[in-house]
Amino acid sequence: MIRSWHLGDDRQSLVLASFDDRLPEAVYWGPALPTGENLETLSAAALADVTGGMVDRNAGLSLCPEASESFPGQTGLTARNASGTPLMPSFRFESEAASEHGLTLVFADNSLDLSLVFDLVLTPETSLLKLQTRLESANEITVDWLAAPVLPVPAHTGEMIEFSGRWCAEFLNHRLPFAPGSRVRDNRTGRTDHAHFPGLVVCNAGTSNTAGEAFAFHYGWSGGHKMVAEELADGRRQVQFGHATASLASGRHFVSAPLYATYSATGFNGAAVRFQRHVRDHVVQGARTPRPVHYNCWEAVYFKHDLDELKAIASQAADLGAERFVLDDGWFGRRDDDTSSLGDWVIDKRKYPDGLTPLIDHIKALGMEFGIWFEPEMVNEDSDLCRAHPDWVLGHADQIRGRQQLVLDMSRQEVRDYLYTHIADVLKNNDIGYIKWDHNRILPVVDARQAEGFYELVDRLRSDFPAVEIESCSSGGGRIDFGVLERTHRVWLSDSNDALERQRIQHDAALFLPASATGSHVGPRHCHTSGRTLDIRLRAWTAAQRHMGFEMDPRELTEAEAETLRNVTSWWKANRDWMMQADILRLDSADPAVIAEQQLAGDGSRFVAFAALTRPSDQILPRPLRLTGLDPQGRYRLSLVNRDEAPRLSRGAPLLKHQDLEASGQYLMSHGLTLPWRFPETVWVVEGERL
């Protein structure tokens, strides 16, 4: 007997089949199937043969591959009973419940009093699958591994793209062959981490940003995670995501984080746009519009807080166009450096004898919103909190410190209550509209309860202070995932304000993140994290590609630099309403020295293209830059926004250098734009509108 189900739209189809009431398998995932496809026939056709050297029936590559089936690869569940004996459930169909866009399938092993539930949803607006596994037990058990619903990828996909990184170099992608055996990434840092973004893209060898097939995954979880991409000896392939090894506890109810997945027939951009739209429209809740221009004072003053100096800096930031002033680390306890006071969330009366009110009043009078920095999950040994409650520290006493700090045990209700009380007190007594929530070290142990405790605290604060926006920061991009974005309004992509590094990081992060939820700031002339000295035009236009802000000392700017920053900020404000709702399309540049993208309005009426020359090109003249996503028959008018930045060595007369261009979408996508010659470390900005 075959039971079959279909989740699909006009872009993709996922077909599941249960054979003889065993756990369901994804027998098809790919381009949308035509209406009327016989699912039972399709399911039967997907059954593979058996030959010599094999067991008599292929173990199902189900949504949770079972050890009891003698599955020859990574199983989807590893569990033990109270005495430590491994459990080997054999689940059978119990029930199903369908909604307009989703499906819940329940399977049980009654001999072990276990139920396995799959919650499967396809969001129609974004064509993104959201898949989750739940395990229910009548008895106390220990779960060592529970995968989100497991999906196969077809044999014709020859490559995978996975992500690594480090501080100030997030979202490094690696394109690898999908080879026999297992590719395992086990992130045991206790947070999403710079080195382990929980994403994967499986593709063909020829897949590019604009063409080819891609199967893309993201595990929406802010704790440690594990990813397995495996090719079995029989040629079948599976992708598993779940919580990190040893991160689950004993209990009776277990649930994976959501696995988000999608199939694209139009290259990486097809998948990227679905992730971007889903984050913007379905994950992030209640983000302020229009998105305000940030000013963060960290790289201007660090821990040296002087009220008059901060007022002067705020006035200059407002003159440059800032709309939200963020007071970073150093306002609480006796926080003169990073060795003390984390956990003591009371205003430092030495620096602010009258509290924060005088500074906030000044900032509000300038027309800006006031924001403030917290790092709630951390504690310094030199703090009143640690002296009073050393037992609240996570891990053993002689653990290695990280940035002079320890981690609070967020699984403890009294810890969460303490943090809520002190953060809420600051919010209640001050006119604060924004929190930068930091997290500056890995955890000493991997424990899902740590991330769950963080979620509970943020949810409580969001419920009681709904007007306060929150940004997730973790030494930059150390906690970026859809789980944290469900509770915050944007992420701080990287601590690097080096615009060249930012170009690459922003480009690769756009596979998953929209502009509206990605913070990007104009850093100082001399970058504090790379040592490079970069032109204000490169720094400003790079920040203008995402949610824009500043993070330099405005007093260092020359008048010419200040005027450039004002102009770019004014341009961003004039365009932010549509840009923050636009799709980021990564462009396939014919010049590897060029990082280029196109932000296309949802209705296709307008776009802006950014082309950054990050180093000298191998050829002397710019290669044409082909656009994407346009109507081939449509007519477009294009203008070079910053044509006045053309250097004197650009001696020719390319049309865009002197006047607007009108051309068809077909021409722009097939031949592309001929841009003027320019120096390295510069950005051309091209606006386009459909006529």
Tell me the three-class secondary structure of 78-116, residue by residue: EEECCCCCECCCCCEEEEEEECCCEEEEEEEECCCCEEE
| pLDDT tens column, 452-494 | 999 999 999 999 999 999 999 999 999 999 999 999 999 999 9
Confidence tier at 246 by pLDDT (50, 70, 90): low
- Please, what is the angle between helix 357-365 and helix 307-320, to 10°? 20
Ramachandran angles phi, psi of 267, nearest 5°: 80, -170
- Residue 48, pLDDT > 90, answer no
Cβ burial 661-676 (10 Å sphere, 16+ → b, else e): bebebebbbeebbbbb
Tokens standing for 66? 């079972």
Strands 151-152 and 237-243: antiparallel
- Residue 248, pLDDT > 80, answer no
Q: Tokens 């002296």 map to which residue?
A: 387
Tokens standing for 321? 């166009």
Q: What is the pLDDT of residue 446?
A: 86
- Residue 56, pLDDT > 80, answer no
Confidence tier at 306 by pLDDT (50, 70, 90): very high
How far is it, in rounded angstroms, from Cα 403 to Cα 166? Answer: 16
Helix (H, G, I), strand (E, B) or coil at 431: coil
- Residue 573, pLDDT > 70, answer yes
How far is it, in rounded angstroms, from Cα 265 to Cα 282? Answer: 23
Beta carbons within 8 Å of 667's beta carbon, 6+ residues apart = none
Residue type, 112: L
- Residue 364, pLDDT > 80, answer yes
Half-sphere exposure at residue 373, Cβ-oriented, CA atoms within 13 angstroms: 25
Average confidence (pLDDT) over 663-686: 98
Q: Do 494 and 476 meet the contact criterion of CB atoms below 8 Å apart?
A: yes
Average confidence (pLDDT) over 263-288: 97
Query: Per-domain residue ranges for the chain?
Result: 2-46+60-283, 294-378+411-581, 587-690
Of the candidates 276, 120, 160, 187, the one whose C-alpha atom is nearest the C-alpha of residue 602 is 276
DSSP code for 215? E
- Please, what is the angle between helix 536-543 and helix 499-509, to 10°? 20
Q: Which CATH superfamily is domain 294-378+411-581 in?
A: Aldolase class I (3.20.20.70)
Q: Judge: domain 2-46+60-283, CATH 2.70.98.60.
A: yes
Q: What is the pLDDT of residue 605?
A: 98
How far is it, in rounded angstroms, from Cα 590 to Cα 425? Answer: 55
Beta carbons within 8 Å of 398's beta carbon, 6+ residues apart = none
Q: What is the pLDDT of residue 247?
A: 62
DSSP code for 554? G
- Please, what is the angle between helix 413-428 and helix 448-464, to 10°? 30
Of the candidates 66, 216, 72, the one whose C-alpha atom is nearest the C-alpha of residue 151 is 216
- Residue 667, pLDDT > 70, answer yes
CATH class of the domain defined by 587-690: mainly beta
How confident is the prediction for the chain on average, in pLDDT?
A: 97
Describe the chain by its helix, strand, coil percentages, rounded to 5: 25, 30, 45
How far is it, in rounded angstroms, from Cα 17 to Cα 3? Answer: 6
Tokens standing for 50? 């058996």
| pLDDT tens column, 533-556 | 999 999 999 999 999 999 999 999
Cβ burial 15-50 (10 Å sphere, 16+ → b, else e): bbbbbeebbbbbbbbeeebeeeeebeebbeeeeeee
Query: Active-site residue numbers?
Result: 438, 495
| pLDDT tens column, 118-157 | 999 999 999 999 999 999 999 999 999 999 999 999 999 9
How far is it, in rounded angstroms, from Cα 154 to Cα 29? Answer: 8
Q: What is the pLDDT of residue 676?
A: 96
Q: What is the pLDDT of residue 513?
A: 99
